[in-house]
Structure 1
Amino acid sequence: MGAYRLLLAVLVAVSHMGKTFMGLNPGVIAVISFLIISGFVMTSLIERNYKAPEKVGLFYLDRALRLYPQFLFYFVVSCAVIYFLLPGTPQAAELTLRNIAASLAIVPLGFYMFGAAGSWILPPAWSLGLEMCFYLMIPFLIIYRARGVAFALSVVVFMAACLGFINTDLYGYRLLPGVLFMFLCGSYLYKAQPKDLAIAAGTAVVAALMFAAIMAGWIERRPFNAEVTAGIALGVPAVYLLTKLRFHRIDEFLGNISYGVFLNHYVVMYFLHAVWSVAYDGAVVATVLALSLLLSGVSYYCVERPALKLRHALRAGAKYGVGRPLDRETAA
């Protein structure tokens, strides 16, 4: 699944450079697959290591060790680039103590639309706030077997948003109540029983039908409802099939650098905007992606890997007791 995750990160980066595909935003479609992957991986992680109320705190620590190292690195780099190279811009205006403190907590980034944090220091990180909200809930949904109720309630919120009864962008894409069922589609794919697989597959089919109806004009097109439904329809089968593939080191490497690409492409764009202010034609897009990939490789080996050792030790202690070896991490 590593190559797929890197492809998704590239699509997010390309979308932020203003590129679309058949009138659709590829970054939004990619984010939905990220949510489905997260649901699958978090369920695997909890089932194997943290499936007990007393271990939920360790799960949260595991996730912090996953998200924070590269996030902090690129957040600091972005602040430096903005401060020194982009003075007087909207980005520079967000370099306040309040915004920086809120951003470092990550969760407020998912509520930037309500003024909880700034959105321009590291723009892709808003979805990390959404991920954090999911992390806070998923252990309890699994331990207390509440996924079904949560799934149904989330679908209701999403349908109301998709059809325009409530804000489509917020509740159909950016906030947990409307997208929780997308995470849970991935959760149901982990060791899927027939009922679980039927729920995920049925959701993908309904999403495909809704996408067709939106594109045909039978359902009014609203902010990102076409992309989100397309993302569900494509993401569920893609994740299901990719989880059946055997481990390969090249795929692992590509997955390892995907998080850095997701985080750092805006930093590269800010830098190039300051020193080489040109339109995002093919050459500039290729330059951004090349630099982003290079930086991601450096940050993975210099920043991420030391934290990875701590996560492995944490899981070994949670599952077996200190000193017992841990299985290879599959996709987180």
Structure 2
Amino acid sequence: MGAYRLLLAVLVAVSHMGKTFMGLNPGVVAVISFLIISGFVMTSLIERSYRAPAKIGLFYLDRALRLYPQFLFYFAASCAVIYFLLPGTPQAAELTLRNIAASLPIVPLGFYMFGAAGVEILPPAWSLGLEMCFYLVIPFLILYRARGVAFALSVAVFLAACLGFINTDLYGYRLLPGVLFMFLCGSYLYQARAKGLMIAGGSAVAAALIFVAIMAGWIERRPFNAEVTAGLALGVPAVYLLTKLGFHRIDEFLGNISYGVFLNHFVVMYLLRAFWPVAYDAPIVASVLALSLLFSGVSYYCVERPALKLRHGLRAGARHGAVQGREVAA
């Protein structure tokens, strides 16, 4: 799934350079696949290493070790580029102590639309705030068998947003209540049984039908409702099929650098903007992507890999503790 994750990160970067496909924002479509993948991976992680209420704190620590190293690295890099090279810009105006402090816990970034944190320093990071919100709830949903209820409630919120009864952008794309069921589609794909496949597959089919209705004008097109439904319709089968593929080192490497590309492309864009005004034509887009890939490779090996060793040790300890617990119980 690594190559797919890198493709999604590239689509997000391309969308931030103003590129669309058939009138659709490819970055939004890609983000929905990221949510589905996250649901799958988090369920796998909890089931294999953290399936006990006492281990929820260890799960949170595991996730912090995953998100923070490169986030902090590129957040600091973006702050430096903005401060030294982009004075007087909207980005520089957001470079306040309050915004920096609010951004560091990551979660407030997911609520930037309510003024909880600034978003211009590292714009893609708002979705990390959404991701963190999901991390906070998924252990409880799995351990206490509450996924079904949460799924149904989230679908209701999403449909109300998609049809315009509540804010479509916020509750149909950016906030957890309306997109939780998309994460859970991925969760149901992990060791999928008939019920899980029916839920995830049915969601993809329903999303495809809604997308067709939006594009045909039968449902009013609102901010990103077409992209979100397209992302769900495409993402569920894509993730399901990709999880059936075997391990390959090249695929693993591509997946390893995807997170850096997702985070750092705005830093590259800010760097280019500092030296000359850029129109994002094909050569500039290619340059941004090439530099983003290069920087991501460096940051993965220099920043993330040390934390990766800590995460693996944490999981091994959690699994060892579970084995010992079963032996004592026996």
> In the alignment, does 2:171 pair up with 1:171?
yes
Which position in structure 2 is the counterpart of 1:285?
A: 285
Pairing 1:31–2:31 present: yes
List runs of 5+ in structure 1 lacking aligned partners.
325-332
Provide the secondary structure at the position in 2 that maps to 1:320: helix
Aligned to 1:94: 94
Task: Give matches, 1:222-241, under 5 Å.
Answer: 222-241=222-241
Superposition deviation, residue 277 in structure 1? 1.5
Aligned to 1:247: 247
Cα separation, 2, equivalents of 1:53 and 1:154: 24
Q: Does 1:131 align with 2:131?
A: yes
Q: Distance in 2 between matches of 1:129 and 1:105?
A: 9
Task: State how far apart, in whole Å, the 1-side matches of 2:283 and 2:132 are.
Answer: 35
Q: Tell me which amino acid in the other structure corresponds to 1:288.
A: V
Q: CA RMSD in A?
A: 1.0
> C-alpha displacement at 1:122, in angstroms?
0.2
SS in 2 for 1:102: helix
Task: Give the structure 1 partner of residue 141 of structure 2.
Answer: 141
Per-residue deviation, 1:23: 0.1
- The aligned residue for residue 256 of structure 1 is 256
What residue is the counterpart of 1:266 in the other structure? 266
Deviations 1:71-112 (A, max 9, x none): 000000000000000001110011111100110010000000
- Note the C-alpha offset of 1:233: 0.1
**Which stretches of structure 1, 4 residues or more, deviate above 6 A after TM superposition?**
none
Identity over aligned residues, as a percent?
87
Q: Alignment partner of 1:121: what SS?
A: coil
* Offset, 1:40: 0.1
C-alpha displacement of 1:276 = 2.5
Q: 1:221 corresponds to which residue?
A: 221
Between the aligned partners of 1:130 and 1:98, the Cα distance in structure 2 is: 20
Query: Which residue in the other structure is 1:327 paired with?
Result: none
Q: One-letter code of the match for 2:314?
A: L
Q: How many residues align?
A: 323
Q: How far does the alpha carbon of each residue in 1:278-321 deviate from its partner, in whole angstroms, 9 at most, with x for none?
A: 20000000000000000000000000000000000000111114
SS of 2:14's equivalent? Answer: helix
Give ranges in structure 2 of 5+ residues lacking alignment.
325-330
Question: In structure 2, what residue type is equivalent to 1:158?
Answer: F
CA offsets per residue over residues 124-173 of structure 1, 9 Å max, x none? 00000000000000000000000000000000000000000000000000
What residue identity is the alignment partner of 2:9? A
Is 1:58 the equivalent of 2:58? yes
Q: Give the letter aligned to residue 56 of structure 1.
A: I
- Cα offset, 1:218, TM superposition: 0.1
Which one-letter code corresponds to 2:19 in the other structure? Answer: K
